[in-house]
Each structure stands twice: as structure tokens, then as C-alpha cells.
Amino acid sequence: MYPHERSLVKRLADKPFAIIGVNSDTDREALKQTLKDEQITWRSFWNGGSTSGPISTAWNVQSWPTIYVIDANGIIRHKGVRGDELDKAIDGLLAEVQGTPDGEGGR
């Protein structure tokens, strides 16, 4: 998913948009190298080296990856969307925030 996430960050650089990652990797130092190698420029939190860490527990995450699309008011509007459906979900929320009809001002 990293290539798609990088493309979103690039495409939406001037929009009110952010990606936040959570990693459950057990080796934190190896994770740091992976983030560097994969050019992860967005904030990525460490879940304590476990899939049952504090972040996944608080958000009731039970499978990986889990994707939440959260609106400007902090409300989860989509869960589990990927690929084109993820792009549509994000573009739709951006259209709401920017006051443009759905599909305009997006891609």
C-alpha cells in the first residue's frame, strides 16, 4: 500500500489531508529503516511491537491493514476502503470541506 499512499500524499499536498500510520512491527529499529526505505514521509506511530498494542486496542483494530477515513470533524466516514474506493472516499470528503460538487476539485 505504500506506493498508493505516497501517490495520495503527493496528489493532495495542497489539500486539507493527512495520512497517519500505525505499525505493529516487533523490531522498532528495523521499522525505522523500512520507513526510510519506503519513503514514508507521513507520521507513523509504533503500536508497542504488538498487534494488541495500545493503539490497536483503543481503536478495536483486529486485522491489518485497517483503513479509516476520518472527516474534518473527526468522524469515521469510511472503513476498509482501498484503491479507487479509497480515492473516491477521500475526494468526496475534500469536496465537502472545499464546498465543491462531488468530483470537482479532486483528481
**Residues 2-32: tens digit of each pLDDT:** 999 999 999 999 999 999 999 999 999 999 9
**Residues 34-75: tens digit of each pLDDT:** 999 999 999 999 999 999 999 999 999 988 899 999 999 999
Residue 103 φ/ψ, nearest 5 degrees: 95, -20
The full set of domain ranges for the chain reads 2-98
Sort 38 into a burial class: Cβ within 10 Å, 0-12 / 13-18 / 19+. Answer: middle
Give me the pLDDT at residue 90, please: 98
99 — pLDDT class (breaks 50, 70, 90): confident
Sign of CA dihedral 2, 61, 74, 94: positive
102 — pLDDT class (breaks 50, 70, 90): low
For domain 2-98, say whether CATH 3.40.30.10 is its number. yes
